[in-house]
């Protein structure tokens, strides 16, 4: 059992049960890393998944999240508030599919992350060049834009769009006081709030475990006519996937600039 008071905070949408096997497989690793595991599930997450989470010791946020990218930032704020109310001093927020992949593939790195997390008030965990390259190109290329915008504002080259953060209680209090973003806006909003509204230290660490995690859910795209395409290939060659990722990149970039302009002294 973990000795440090570091809580895992996560969001999960799973109507089909893809998470059940990896939840069971990684349970010991996550239990060894974290003092608590909090999760907010969507209203469409299956009952079997919810029962599995409870069986394995996850603590569920009482409010279920709405489905859709428009509600991601709200879900992150809710789970952050849940952990704060439970008395957590240090928190690691990361989406469930990402943490399950991380615990399966790089458990020792994850343990190191959690062990060193309390050394800084806020830590941005980014992807190594190798880990980033495992993602589909529609994600790799579009995410360069918000990463560049944030890096220009912050003054250091940083990958912010893996959305994994180490957060102290002091940092969480400020985030909850000022965060208003929607979609995936919190990728850029939270660190800029801290940059402008506090003197809390912000650290950055690149990791291997934040590889492309989506194959946990499925590996193929099934077309209406029954044809199957490798999922990564589908995303890279489907124009709608590029438009979707471009929209997210714009929103995160725009939020970075608007938040900085609103809060800079």
- According to DSSP, the residues that pair with 203 across neighbouring strands are 123
What pLDDT digit, counting tens, does each position of 144-173 carry?
999 999 999 999 999 999 999 999 999 999
Q: What is the mean pLDDT of the chain?
A: 93
Evaluate if residue 262 carries a pLDDT over 60: yes
Q: How many other C-beta atoms can be found within 10 angstroms of the C-beta atom of residue 5? A: 15
**Confidence at residue 215, expressed as pLDDT on a 0 to 100 scale:** 84
- Which pTM value belongs to this model? 0.93
> Which of residues 210 and 213 earns the better pLDDT score?
210
Report yes or no: 5 and 34 within 8 Å, Cβ to Cβ. no
Structural domains in the chain plus CATH codes: 6-263 (3.90.550.10)
Scanning the structure block, which residue is given the tokens 């969001």?
A: 11
What pLDDT digit, counting tens, does each position of 108-134 carry?
999 999 999 999 999 999 999 999 999
> Which of residues 5 and 10 earns the better pLDDT score?
10
Confidence of residue 68 (pLDDT cuts 50, 70, 90): low
Strands 122-127 and 202-207, how do they pair? Answer: parallel
**Confidence at residue 70, expressed as pLDDT on a 0 to 100 scale:** 67
What pLDDT digit, counting tens, does each position of 13-54 carry?
999 999 999 999 999 999 999 999 999 999 899 999 999 999
- Which burial class, exposed, middle or buried, applies to 91 when counting CB atoms under 10 A from its CB (0-12, 13-18, 19+)? buried
Evaluate if residue 228 carries a pLDDT over 90: no
**Confidence at residue 69, expressed as pLDDT on a 0 to 100 scale:** 66
Length of the chain: 265
Q: What is the mean pLDDT of residues 134-140?
A: 97
Confidence of residue 67 (pLDDT cuts 50, 70, 90): low
Q: What is the mean pLDDT of residues 69-85?
A: 89
In the structure encoding, which two tokens stand for residue 61, read together? 């946020």
Evaluate if residue 73 carries a pLDDT over 70: yes
């Amino acid at each position: 059992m973990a000795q440090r008071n570091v809580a895992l905070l996560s969001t999960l949408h799973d109507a089909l049960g893809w998470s059940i096997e990896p939840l069971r497989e990684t349970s010991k690793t996550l239990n060894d890393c974290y003092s608590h595991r909090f999760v907010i599930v969507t209203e469409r997450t299956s009952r079997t998944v919810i029962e599995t989470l409870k069986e394995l010791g996850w603590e569920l946020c009482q409010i279920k999240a709405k489905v859709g990218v428009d509600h991601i930032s709200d879900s992150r704020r809710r789970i952050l508030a849940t952990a704060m109310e439970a008395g957590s001093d240090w928190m690691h927020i990361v989406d469930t599919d990402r943490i399950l992949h991380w615990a399966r593939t790089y458990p020792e790195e994850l343990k190191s992350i959690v062990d060193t997390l309390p050394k800084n008030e806020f830590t941005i965990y980014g992807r190594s060049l190798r880990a980033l390259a495992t993602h589909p190109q529609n994600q790799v290329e579009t995410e360069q834009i918000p990463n560049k915008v944030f890096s220009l504002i912050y003054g250091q080259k940083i990958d912010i769009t893996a959305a994994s953060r180490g957060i102290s209680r002091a940092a969480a209090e400020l985030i909850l006081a000022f965060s208003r973003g929607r979609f995936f806006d919190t990728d850029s909003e939270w660190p800029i709030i801290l940059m402008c509204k506090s003197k809390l230290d912000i650290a950055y660490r690149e990791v291997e475990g934040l590889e492309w995690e989506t194959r946990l859910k499925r590996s193929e795209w099934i077309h209406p006519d029954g044809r199957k395409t490798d999922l990564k290939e589908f995303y890279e060659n489907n124009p709608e996937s590029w438009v979707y990722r471009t929209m997210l990149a714009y929103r995160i970039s725009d939020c970075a600039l608007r938040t900085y302009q609103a809060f800079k002294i």
